[in-house]
Structure 1
Amino acid sequence: MHELGHATMGKNRVPRDVTVYSVEELKAELGLPRLERQLANHAAYLQSWLREFADKKHKLVSVASEAQKISDWLLARGGMAKQAESVDEEQSAA
Structure 2
Amino acid sequence: MPLFNDHIHWQGMGTIVVVGLFTLFALTFAVVSYVKWSSNADVAEFISTTESSASDPNHSNESAAQNPPAKGRTNCPLGEKSPPTQLLPLP
Pick the structure with more helix per residue.
Answer: 1
Q: TM-score, normalised by structure 2?
A: 0.30
- Highest Rg: 1 or 2? 2
TM-score (norm 1): 0.29
